[in-house]
């Protein structure tokens, strides 16, 4: 029997929205909720009586509380570590395909710098180099025991390590690399389609950016080509990222450390 449900996990800026839309368009399944889904303008209604300086923390708190509602039914925030205890005891676990979405961590770091949402820090945004060396304070829905991560790369290591552990607890799991969606779209969907019911005869891509970027699919293919890494950050930044990445996790994801 093929799976009825899909749960997507993946760190912020890894392409989870894109994967969600592709799965929704091409397969007959129920995609489990992933967090607070109302537009921010609705959240702001609840915050209007709170001092402006406190609204960031209050907004994160609302989303943390809402995430607790989803832990047992939908296995929590898609950007957090998997809710292992809830997953192990859920009756629908064996009817769920768990998809772990990753992006090459060099490109991910740059994307995360550009859109560091769910950031509890009020510190003004500095340079990319400063961002890489700044501790990251997780939210409650990150589902981690860490009070803070020494830097964003250490957080990436923990998140990827956590979804890797998930593979041994569930009956249906696939690692989906963002880069494979760009360069091997149909073979990637064929692999996913072994575990889900297809909705149509042809695979349909989603070419419009879910975040409103004016880039075409071909633009994204070019943007995330591995040979562009040296052109988007300094040599020092590359060495810092490489020195902080977990080499074993990189092998599991089939990424290469840049020397």
Note the pLDDT tens digit of each residue in 66-110.
778 889 999 999 999 999 999 999 999 999 999 999 999 999 999
**Does 258 fall in a domain?**
no
- Whole-number Å distance between alpha carbons of 131 and 125: 8
Instruction: Please tell me the predicted confidence (pLDDT) of residue 179.
Output: 97
Instruction: Please tell me the predicted confidence (pLDDT) of residue 69.
Output: 82
Helix (H) or strand (E) holding 58: helix 55-74
Instruction: Please tell me the predicted confidence (pLDDT) of residue 20.
Output: 97
Beta bridge partners of 176: 101
- Whole-number Å distance between alpha carbons of 127 and 113: 9
pTM, rounded to two decimals: 0.90
**Does 259 fall in a domain?**
no
pLDDT in tens, 159-218: 999 999 999 999 999 999 999 999 999 999 999 999 999 999 999 999 877 666 778 888
Three-class secondary structure of residue 81 per DSSP: coil
**Does 130 fall in a domain?**
yes
- Whole-number Å distance between alpha carbons of 93 and 259: 40
Does pLDDT of 9 surpass 60? yes
How many contiguous H segments (helices) and E segments (strands) does the chain have? 13, 6
**Does 14 fall in a domain?**
yes
Instruction: Please tell me the predicted confidence (pLDDT) of residue 49.
Output: 80
CATH of the domain at 115: 3.40.50
CB 179 within 8 A of CB 103: yes
**Does 89 fall in a domain?**
yes
**Does 127 fall in a domain?**
yes
CA-closest candidate to residue 1, choices 130, 131, 94, 77: 94
- Whole-number Å distance between alpha carbons of 48 and 43: 9
- DSSP-assigned letter for residue 257: -
**Number of compact structural domains in the chain:** 1
Instruction: Please tell me the predicted confidence (pLDDT) of residue 41.
Output: 52
**Does 165 fall in a domain?**
yes
As a whole number, the mean pLDDT across the chain is 91
**Does 227 fall in a domain?**
yes
Question: Domain span at residue 48?
Answer: 5-253
Q: How far is CA 32 from CA 67, 125, 177, 208, in A?
A: 12, 33, 20, 22
- How far does the chain reach from its first CA to its final CA, in angstroms? 45
CA-closest candidate to residue 163, choices 75, 99, 255: 99
- Whole-number Å distance between alpha carbons of 171 and 157: 24
């Amino acid at each position: 029997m093929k799976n009825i449900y899909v749960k997507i996990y993946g760190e912020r800026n890894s392409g989870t929205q894109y994967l969600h839309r592709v799965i929704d368009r091409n397969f007959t399944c129920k995609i489990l909720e992933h967090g607070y889904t109302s537009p921010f303008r609705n959240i702001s209604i609840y915050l209007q009586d709170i001092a402006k300086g406190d609204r960031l923390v209050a907004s994160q708190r609302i989303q943390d509380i809402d995430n607790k509602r989803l832990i047992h039914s939908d296995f929590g925030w898609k950007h957090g570590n998997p809710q292992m205890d809830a997953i192990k005891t859920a009756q629908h676990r064996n009817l769920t395909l768990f998809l772990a979405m990753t992006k090459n961590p060099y490109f991910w770091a740059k994307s995360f710098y550009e859109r560091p949402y769910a950031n509890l820090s009020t510190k003004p945004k500095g340079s990319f180099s400063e961002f890489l060396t700044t501790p990251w304070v997780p939210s409650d829905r990150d589902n981690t025991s860490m009070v803070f991560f020494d830097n964003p790369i250490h957080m990436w290591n923990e998140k990827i390590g956590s979804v890797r552990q998930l593979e041994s607890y569930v009956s249906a799991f696939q690692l989906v690399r963002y880069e494979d969606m760009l360069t091997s779209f149909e073979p990637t969907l064929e692999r996913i389609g072994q575990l889900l019911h297809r909705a149509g005869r042809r695979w349909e891509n989603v070419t419009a950016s879910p975040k409103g970027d004016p880039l075409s699919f071909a633009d994204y293919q070019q943007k995330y080509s591995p040979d562009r890494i040296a052109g988007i950050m300094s040599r020092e930044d590359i060495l810092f990222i490489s020195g902080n990445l977990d080499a074993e996790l990189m092998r599991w994801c089939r990424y290469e450390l840049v020397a």
